[in-house]
């Protein structure tokens, strides 16, 4: 009798947990794969699963803090409508048939993310951390009006102190300095790190958190993964490097750090500024920091730089995505490049965990005879994520995609290049997290010289790579294969 009572209690608890799990997951709209992943965790790990869900599972799409984006939409509408007409008439970008895919991609990003196509941009490419940060500090030291910085990681190590010292020097001479960073990505960096900067008149704050917060429970899983610098409104940085010693290759664990970043001078910087202003103003709702004038950012946008193309420089769209909307603009941009490819697609990403539509786009391109090459790291920085990356790498190899692992150090670059002139460089990895959970920003570019440099860089990196084959995966142990299969099930929430 006693055992029957215990059994009834256990069954009752299980049924209650099942009902609660179903109610918890289905009360917010999700894609099918993440719905099943969370159901599995909540059902089979009742207590641990619900604790994990509280911290990393709750969505942001209905959060009122993101109504700030409506302000930008109203401001951009006049420019957007004008560019739509010009793109429809093929009066922007070259008119040759071989460049028809440029028109299609530009229109896709304009309609998905209000990403204006800007001209008159000069671009420098950085693949080494020392060169990038040396130049960045020089540019901060030359700033006259303002320096706005937004990074996932702003570490309080040697490099962090070097960059902070440059910001303090700028603030001391009267330059407006604003710093936005992610709490999770900047572990060990507290508000005290920026105290002297604020004493000098600068401002620093953690993204959508109070300035002294350790973490914000509902947003622990939603990271500010963007890497942006805007100096004086006409010079900007965008790409994959964070601020920390390991990004200089000074980590015993990772060794040489291979990343990609762009230094941009031109109208596209005003679009970076708009992105920063929205992120700053969103966070200001939780702090006493001064809001930025978003409308004023567009005062200096010259219509000629949006409507009269200059092909001698780099046409560019600044594209954002995040959990504040369902558009997944960067993922759609990646897929637009892949599905329109005619000769090749080269992709570099530290995390290869794509959702089905992006995964199959790569497979279809390879089956059509497109030269699809993907480069991933040879070592993990997150074990579960890397095993899932291996699973998808194996799947792609078995379907004709060439996958390389970078052996020289850690590959952190997030780049895609295809054809004569299409390319993307930014913060977004080719994975669920970047597509759905992180706040990301990429530059999509339309320029033969830049595309050629990125392609040559990829091919040069191949000298330090191993081509993965079916034999490579067949030789792995059963335990390693099991970990890959298991981690693949968690892909939507990794």
Angle (nearest 5°) at CA 30 between 220 and 53: 35
> SS3 string of 387-399?
HHHHHHHHHHHCC
**Residue 154, strand partner residues:** 243
Q: How many residues does the chain have?
A: 494
Q: Is the pLDDT of residue 426 over 50?
A: yes
For 10, the token pair is 């256990």
Summarised one tens digit per residue, pLDDT across range 460-493 is 999 999 999 999 999 999 999 888 888 887 776 6
Greater confidence (400 vs 83) lies with 400
The answer to whether 295 touches 77, Cβ cutoff 8 Å, is no
The tally of CA atoms less than 13 A away on the side-chain side of residue 395 is 19
Q: In angstroms, rounded to a whole number, what is the distance separating the alpha carbons of residues 295 and 43? A: 48
Summarised one tens digit per residue, pLDDT across range 162-172 is 999 999 999 99
What is residue 361's predicted lDDT score, i.e. its pLDDT? 97
Q: How far is CA 147 from the centre of its chain?
A: 21
The answer to whether 107 touches 310, Cβ cutoff 8 Å, is no
Which value, in Å, is the radius of gyration of the alpha carbons in the chain? 23
Summarised one tens digit per residue, pLDDT across range 41-91 is 655 556 555 455 545 555 554 454 555 566 666 666 667 777 777 777 667
Taking residues 440-459, report their average pLDDT.
97
Taking residues 424-431, report their average pLDDT.
97
In this structure, whether the domain defined by 321-493 belongs to CATH 3.30.870.10 is answered with yes
Spell out the CATH class of 122-265+268-301.
alpha beta
**Domain locations in the chain as residue ranges:** 2-56, 122-265+268-301, 321-493
What is residue 252's predicted lDDT score, i.e. its pLDDT? 81
Share of the chain above pLDDT 90, in %: 57
Q: In angstroms, rounded to a whole number, what is the distance separating the alpha carbons of residues 376 and 355? A: 17
Q: In angstroms, rounded to a whole number, what is the distance separating the alpha carbons of residues 400 and 470? A: 11
Q: Is the pLDDT of residue 195 over 90?
A: yes
Burial 206-224 (b: 16+ CB within 10 A, else e): bbbbebeeeebebbbbbbb
What is residue 384's predicted lDDT score, i.e. its pLDDT? 82
Summarised one tens digit per residue, pLDDT across range 369-393 is 999 999 999 988 887 888 999 999 9
**Residue 203, strand partner residues:** 178
Greater confidence (385 vs 451) lies with 451
* 122-265+268-301 and 321-493 in the same fold: yes
For 35, the token pair is 């719905």
Q: In angstroms, rounded to a whole number, what is the distance separating the alpha carbons of residues 197 and 392? A: 45
Taking residues 129-154, report their average pLDDT.
98
What is residue 380's predicted lDDT score, i.e. its pLDDT? 80
How many C-beta neighbours within 10 Å does residue 295 have? Answer: 13
Q: In angstroms, rounded to a whole number, what is the distance separating the alpha carbons of residues 302 and 297? A: 12
Share of the chain above pLDDT 70, in %: 74
**Mean pLDDT, all residues of the chain:** 84
Q: How far is CA 379 from the centre of its chain?
A: 20
Q: What is residue 238's three-state secondary structure? A: strand
Q: Choose the weakest-confidence range: 161-170, 244-253, 300-309.
A: 300-309
């Amino acid at each position: 009798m006693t055992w029957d009572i215990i059994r009834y209690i256990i069954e009752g608890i299980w049924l209650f947990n099942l009902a609660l799990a179903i109610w918890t997951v289905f009360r917010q709209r999700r894609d099918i794969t993440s719905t099943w992943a969370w159901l599995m965790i909540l059902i089979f790990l009742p207590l641990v699963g619900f604790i994990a869900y509280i911290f990393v599972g709750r969505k942001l799409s209905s959060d009122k803090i993101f109504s700030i984006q409506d302000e930008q939409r109203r401001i951009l509408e006049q420019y957007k409508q004008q560019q739509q007409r010009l793109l429809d008439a093929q009066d922007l970008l070259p008119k040759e048939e071989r460049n028809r895919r440029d028109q299609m991609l530009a229109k896709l990003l304009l309609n998905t993310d209000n990403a204006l196509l800007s001209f008159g941009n000069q671009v420098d490419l950085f693949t080494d951390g020392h060169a990038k940060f040396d130049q960045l500090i020089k540019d901060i030291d030359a700033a006259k009006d303002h320096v706005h910085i937004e990074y996932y990681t702003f570490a309080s190590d040697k490099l962090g102190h070097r960059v902070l010292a440059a910001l303090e020097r700028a603030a001391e001479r009267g330059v407006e300095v604003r710093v936005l960073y992610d709490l999770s990505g900047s572990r060990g960096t507290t508000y005290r790190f920026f105290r002297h900067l604020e004493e000098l008149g600068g401002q620093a704050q953690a993204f959508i958190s109070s300035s002294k917060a350790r973490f914000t429970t509902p947003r622990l899983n939603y990271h500010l993964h963007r890497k942006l610098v805007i100096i004086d409104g006409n010079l900007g940085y965008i790409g994959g490097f964070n601020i920390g010693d390991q990004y200089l290759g000074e980590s015993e664990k990772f060794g040489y750090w291979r990343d990609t970043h762009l230094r941009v001078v031109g109208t596209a910087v005003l679009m970076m500024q708009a992105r920063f202003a929205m992120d700053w103003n969103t966070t200001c709702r939780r702090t006493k920091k001064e809001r930025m004038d978003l409308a004023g950012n567009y005062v200096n946008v010259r219509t000629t730089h949006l409507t009269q193309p200059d092909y001698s420089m780099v046409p560019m769209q600044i594209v954002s995505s995040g959990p504040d909307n369902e558009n997944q603009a960067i993922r759609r941009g990646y897929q637009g490049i892949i599905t329109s490819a005619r000769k090749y697609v080269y992709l570099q990403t530290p995390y290869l965990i794509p959702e089905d539509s992006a995964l199959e786009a790569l497979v279809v391109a390879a089956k059509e005879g497109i030269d699809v090459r993907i480069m991933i790291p040879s070592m993990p920085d997150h074990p579960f994520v890397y095993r899932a990356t291996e699973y998808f790498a194996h799947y792609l190899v078995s379907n004709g995609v060439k996958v390389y692992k970078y052996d020289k150090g850690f590959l952190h670059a997030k780049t895609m290049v295809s054809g004569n002139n299409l390319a993307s460089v930014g913060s977004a990895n080719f994975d669920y997290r970047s597509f759905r959970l992180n706040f990301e920003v990429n530059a999509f570019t339309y320029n033969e010289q830049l595309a050629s440099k990125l392609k040559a860089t990829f091919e040069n990196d191949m000298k330090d790579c191993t081509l993965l084959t079916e034999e490579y995966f067949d030789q792995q142990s059963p335990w390693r294969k099991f970990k890959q299969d298991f981690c693949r099930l968690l892909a939507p929430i990794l």
